[in-house]
């Protein structure tokens, strides 16, 4: 394929309400990620992990609606700069989380790589809360809102000023668990939400075809995979599991279709929690999905 993939780990769990996803990057690497990508003919540059301070050594912060705000902003600023630099050098950034608050930096960096950013966000949750409506104060529930220009000023200005993408250029797929005010905000937005009900009714292939067709005009496509989009019976090692998710094969189909389109610009894979996993099943699944996104096929 003559492509170079730049792997970056962000071992952060400060945006979540449960510890453990900071070990996600290690779990995905341990599952043989680099070997899988090299076998596809890709050149892989692993840039290691960003430094993230542990929760036990940090103040939670004065604002109960934005836990660990200062460190989350600092890490995302560093991530955005790195994603932008790697993409500008012609590499495909692949970001390993960590909790989904790292989506802020991943999208901020990706937005610098084209005039118009398109986003496919695979997630059981909406990630469309802000500090005004969050029921938990956990920033991993906010990155998609930040990406379209909604939220606390410190998050919106973590690197370049948000919004990073227009609402109409964001597709949220696999959603099945929304907070009440978050549901209202999404319903009033132009973000396209393909819930599990729609996937059950129209099938995954149709949903992805619609998404890729709607995003034809974007200059850079970023795909974000929260492993909790997959049913927890198949992917048990996630931070916030929700029953009734997509299947293992549906997840691969999404990534295979995106790879076939030839339009993937950057990728993030988040919320793998080895503490809750079964013999690294979810870490292995994450590595396999990355390989599918980058061109691995059955035949």
Q: Catalytic one among 125, 152, 220, 252?
A: 125
Q: Is 202 part of the annotated catalytic residue set?
A: no
Q: Catalytic one among 36, 49, 78, 123?
A: 123
CA-CA distances (angstroms) from residue 163 to 97, 103, 117, 169?
A: 22, 13, 10, 12
Do the beta carbons of residue 149 and residue 156 sit within 8 Å? yes
For residue 92, give both structure tokens: 């495909």
Q: Is 125 part of the annotated catalytic residue set?
A: yes
Q: What are phi and psi of 227, to 5 degrees?
A: -65, -15
- CA 51 to CA 252: how far, in whole Å? 31
Q: Catalytic one among 131, 182, 228, 231?
A: 228
Q: Is 200 part of the annotated catalytic residue set?
A: no
- CA 273 to CA 139: how far, in whole Å? 17
Q: Is 154 part of the annotated catalytic residue set?
A: no
Q: Catalytic one among 13, 71, 127, 277?
A: 127
Q: Is 123 part of the annotated catalytic residue set?
A: yes
- Looking up tokens 């997509």 gives 246
Do the beta carbons of residue 15 and residue 134 sit within 8 Å? no
Q: Catalytic one among 91, 256, 271, 277?
A: 271
Q: Is 100 part of the annotated catalytic residue set?
A: yes
Q: Is 228 part of the annotated catalytic residue set?
A: yes
CB-based contacts of 22: which residues, under 8 Å, 6+ apart?
A: 11, 12, 13, 52, 54, 98, 99
- Looking up tokens 């989009």 gives 229
Q: Catalytic one among 22, 71, 131, 140?
A: 140
Q: Catalytic one among 226, 250, 256, 277?
A: 226
Q: Is 46 part of the annotated catalytic residue set?
A: no
Q: Catalytic one among 22, 67, 78, 100?
A: 100
* Residues recognised as catalytic: 100, 123, 125, 127, 140, 226, 228, 271
């Amino acid at each position: 394929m003559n492509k170079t993939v730049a792997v970056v780990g962000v071992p952060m769990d400060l945006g979540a309400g449960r510890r453990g996803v900071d070990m996600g990057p290690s779990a995905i690497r341990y599952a043989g990620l680099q070997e899988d990508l090299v076998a596809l003919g890709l050149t892989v540059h692993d840039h290691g992990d960003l430094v993230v301070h542990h929760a036990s050594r940090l103040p939670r912060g004065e604002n109960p609606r934005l836990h660990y705000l200062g460190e989350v902003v600092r890490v995302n600023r560093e991530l955005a700069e790195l994603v932008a630099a790697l993409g500008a050098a012609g590499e495909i950034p692949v970001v390993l989380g960590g909790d989904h608050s790292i989506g802020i930096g991943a999208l901020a960096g990706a937005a610098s790589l084209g005039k118009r950013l398109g986003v496919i966000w695979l997630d059981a949750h909406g990630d469309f809360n802000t500090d005004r409506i969050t029921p938990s104060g956990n920033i991993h529930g906010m990155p998609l809102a930040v990406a379209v220009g909604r939220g606390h000023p410190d998050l919106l200005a973590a690197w370049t000023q948000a919004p990073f993408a227009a609402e109409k250029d964001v597709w949220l797929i696999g959603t099945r668990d929304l907070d009440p005010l978050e549901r209202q905000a999404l319903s009033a937005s132009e973000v396209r939400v393909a819930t599990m009900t729609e996937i059950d009714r129209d099938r995954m292939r149709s949903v992805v075809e619609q998404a890729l067709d709607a995003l034809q005009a974007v200059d850079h496509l970023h795909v974000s995979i929260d492993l909790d989009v997959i049913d927890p019976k198949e992917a048990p090692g996630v931070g916030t599991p929700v029953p009734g998710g997509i299947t293992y094969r549906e997840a691969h189909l999404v990534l295979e279709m995106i790879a076939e389109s030839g339009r993937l610009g950057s990728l993030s894979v988040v919320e793998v929690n080895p503490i809750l996993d079964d013999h690294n099943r979810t870490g292995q699944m994450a590595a396999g999905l990355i390989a599918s996104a980058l061109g691995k096929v059955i035949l």
